[in-house]
Amino acid sequence: MAAIFNLNHHPGYVHWHFFLMSWPNIIVIVAMLVVFALAIAIPFPRSHEPTEQRP
Amino acid sequence: MSVGSHTPGSRERRSWTVAVRERAVGALPPEKLLADKQPSYVSSWIYVFGVLSIAALLICIASGLVLTLKGPAWWHYTGVGLFFNSMHLWATELFFFFLVIHLWGKFWMAAWRGGRFKTWATGALAFLVSIPTALTGYVSQQNFDAQWISTQAKDAMNAAGIGSFFNLTNFGQMYSYHVLILPGVVIFLVVVHVLLVRKRGVVPPFEVRKTTADGPPGPDGRQTESGLKP
């Protein structure tokens, strides 16, 4: 990652009133939210293995 | 098992090993402990984040064992050492990334339902203990980054009232916490958590209510059950 992004400097910050957070933290939190939404939205590949039916 | 006291026809005297075995097999019979089938509702991506967290934790433990064997000079000044150091860091990042999504998923499906409170509690506790495990790792790096983090975070420890016995600027103490005490607690909680998942089963999602598309809105302006699209 360091080869792609220059990590050898202080990160930028978003400062709005009381809100203060670095860009790396914002990116990670947004990425978690996106992955969470995709995990719910994207259908799981159907398995051909026998599965137990829901009780 | 009591040697010498067992005679044909007499009732076998119960020993603690028999009691533990019977209780363990009763709580987790082999077909439950190592099941070959899962409920159909686990066919969703939201159910994979628990095992992804465990996979990241295993990489953390494996890379951490190598770092412990070789020491700070190795992980700072050799190519292979830097590689293992980075692997340990990014496995930690992924561990928390997956764990938080797992936690969100379980929270919104109320995973403590159906007698699964202990499963939920051990998972939540494992997450809480993982935080100081990571923090003690960041302050054990033996570099300026570690010094910066320890001097910044010690104020939080003092404010919490634990600064007198939990000194973030004490490398020896933090390293012991990081490589022995806290990982032991995390591993123990994760093992208990997984065994409880095996015992109680994976929590099912909420039932989808049968609805029709042409129902009127309710008195509070929201659609009633009959007015929601299926």
Which chain B residue shows the shortest CA-CA distance from A40?
B46
A8 touching B (Cβ < 8 Å)? no
What does the mean pLDDT of chain B come to?
A: 87
- Does A55 fall in a domain? no
CB B182 within 8 A of CB B202: no
Residues 6+ apart with CB under 8 A from B206: B109, B110
CB pairs under 8 A between A and B: 47
Q: Which among B45, B93, B108, B208 is the top mutation candidate for probing chain A, defined by the most A β-carbons within 10 Å of its own β-carbon?
A: B45
A35 touching B (Cβ < 8 Å)? yes
B144 touching A (Cβ < 8 Å)? no
CATH architecture group of domain B44-200: Up-down Bundle (1.20)
When divided into structural domains, chain A yields a total of: 1
- Does A46 fall in a domain? no
B45 touching A (Cβ < 8 Å)? yes
Task: Say what the pLDDT of residue B227 is.
Answer: 39
Which chain B residue shows the shortest CA-CA distance from A33?
B101
- Does A54 fall in a domain? no
- Residue B210: which of B190, B224, B230, B191 has the closest Cα? B230
Confidence category of residue B69, pLDDT binned at 50, 70, 90:
very high
- What mean pLDDT is predicted for residues B20-42? 89
In this predicted structure, the answer to whether residue B224 has a pLDDT above a threshold of 90 is no
Distance CA(B83)–CA(B91), nearest Å, equals 12
Distance CA(A2)–CA(A28), nearest Å, equals 16
- Does A51 fall in a domain? no
pLDDT above 70 coverage of chain A, percent: 78
In this predicted structure, the answer to whether residue B9 has a pLDDT above a threshold of 60 is no
Q: Do B43 and A55 touch (CB under 8 A)?
A: no
Query: What is the domain range of residue A23?
Result: 1-41
Residues 6+ apart with CB under 8 A from B90: none
pTM over 0.90: no
